[in-house]
Structure 1
């Protein structure tokens, strides 16, 4: 018979692709991890892992069960947190994923408010992009995801997600000249970021009648601004990113009619557990 410990071990091995790294996270010995995997194979009657050089890899059956194991473990942890929170927020844990610009601006303000109002509530923070954060939310690995959408490139969402609008966030051209325009850089090299940020950049440029030549890539707002300051290229950044970090030797110009929408996403049927509701309230107030 499968048990939760065996499933947790398989999910951790799948996430790391390594027995050694899984053992470190779980605080088990490597032999203990191997033992749990062997017990799980015996319980399922299926070969779940196989040797690959000095490491291991999951079989197709192992990958299938690992996906379900991740969801099951996540749901059990969520239920445990909900039950603890139901006692009255004297305890409880909320796992939240958001991208760097939000984690460095809105979230710290919400954390301070929560520490004052609910000192027993633990908030676990994860730096993650919207698409991956929604996947983690669906699989039960987190309880809340802070995501952004743009009207020209909305996120595809499965049924079950519920969104709370937090605020708008203006997008800015970042260059070395004050009062710059997008059109003035139709022949300039551009600096792209993550996949969705790059979609946003391309959409903004095409609105001005050209397709940008993306010559450099970085997802770090410190690196991006350093590259702009050095003359490597120009880029776009949201207002929250510039609030988190702003170099004095770059100039920004807000793009009119081009804004991100920031949402907090939960998954499943309402109402939200008290702990998650408390975090949502704190985030809404911080965003405002």
Structure 2
């Protein structure tokens, strides 16, 4: 029969791709890791690990079970934190996944308020793209994910609960004030990665042209510095401009283009008390 120890071992081996690294993380010996994997394979009647040269890889059955193990282990850890929190908000933990601009603007204010109001709550933060943040939330590795959506963003999978915090306008970043997207149909543009530049490209296409992306960076400081140096123009959300503003650039709001910022939780309510406390603070300061 499968047990939690076996699943923890499989999850660690799958994540590290190494028995040695899994043993180090779990403070087990390598023979002990192999023993647990062998017991798990016997209990389900399928081979989970294959030797490949000096390394290992998961079988298809191992891949399936490892994914479920990640979810199960994550939810057990979340439940443990929730039970600990029920002792009272004198102690507890809330794990948050967020993206760069929200972590550098809204979250520090919320963290300071949380520490002042509930000094016993431990706050853990991880900087990831919203897509990855939702994956971590579903798997139970975080308790709350700060994400953004656009008007045309597809609905998320069932189980997520979104609390709207604020709308974040999009701005044209250039060296001259009061300009429009159309003024730069022939200009060089600074764009982010394929996923991050989608909003900029969509705004330009709505204005009747496709931007010529000459430079690529997801760093708001680099983007503004390139614009200030006359290398091109760009778009940035308002939170990025709150986090950092380079001298010599002007920001002009682009009407009709804003991203919607949400705090996402997962599963049926109620949320753990520590998560609810942070969520209440986020709502209050935005």
Asked if these proteins are the same fold (TM beyond 0.5), I'd say yes
User: Quick one: structure 1 residues 46 and 167, their matched pair in 2 at CA, closer, same or farther if it must change by over 3 Å?
Assistant: same
Q: Deviations for 1:47-69, whole angstroms, at most 9, x for unmatched residues?
A: 21222343222111111001100
Give the alignment of 1:72-151 within 5 angstroms. 72-151=72-151
List alignment gaps of at least 5 residues for structure 1. Answer: none
**Mapped partners of 2:260, 2:153: distance in 1:** 10
Q: Is residue 67 of structure 1 aligned with residue 67 of structure 2? A: yes
Segment of structure 1 superposing worse, 250-259 or 55-64: 250-259
Segment of structure 1 superposing worse, 219-228 or 164-173: 219-228
The corresponding residue for 2:187 is 188
Segment of structure 1 superposing worse, 13-22 or 209-218: 13-22
Q: Is residue 199 of structure 1 aligned with residue 194 of structure 2? A: no
Q: Deviations for 1:108-158, whole angstroms, at most 9, x for unmatched residues?
A: 11111111111111111111111121122122221111111111x324311
**Preserved contact between residue 228 and residue 249 of structure 2 (Cα < 8 Å):** yes
Q: Deviations for 1:179-209, whole angstroms, at most 9, x for unmatched residues?
A: 3321122122322224443221111111211
Q: Deviations for 1:227-267, whole angstroms, at most 9, x for unmatched residues?
A: 33344432211111111122113322221221111010111
**Mapped partners of 1:234, 1:16: distance in 2:** 41
The corresponding residue for 1:18 is 18
Name the count of aligned residue pairs: 286
Deviation at 1:174, TM superposition (A): 1.7
TM-score in terms of structure 2 length: 0.92
The corresponding residue for 1:51 is 51
Deviation at 1:28, TM superposition (A): 4.3
**Mapped partners of 1:179, 1:248: distance in 2:** 16
Deviation at 1:13, TM superposition (A): 2.5
Deviation at 1:32, TM superposition (A): 4.3
Report SS of the residue matched to 2:157: coil
The corresponding residue for 1:263 is 262
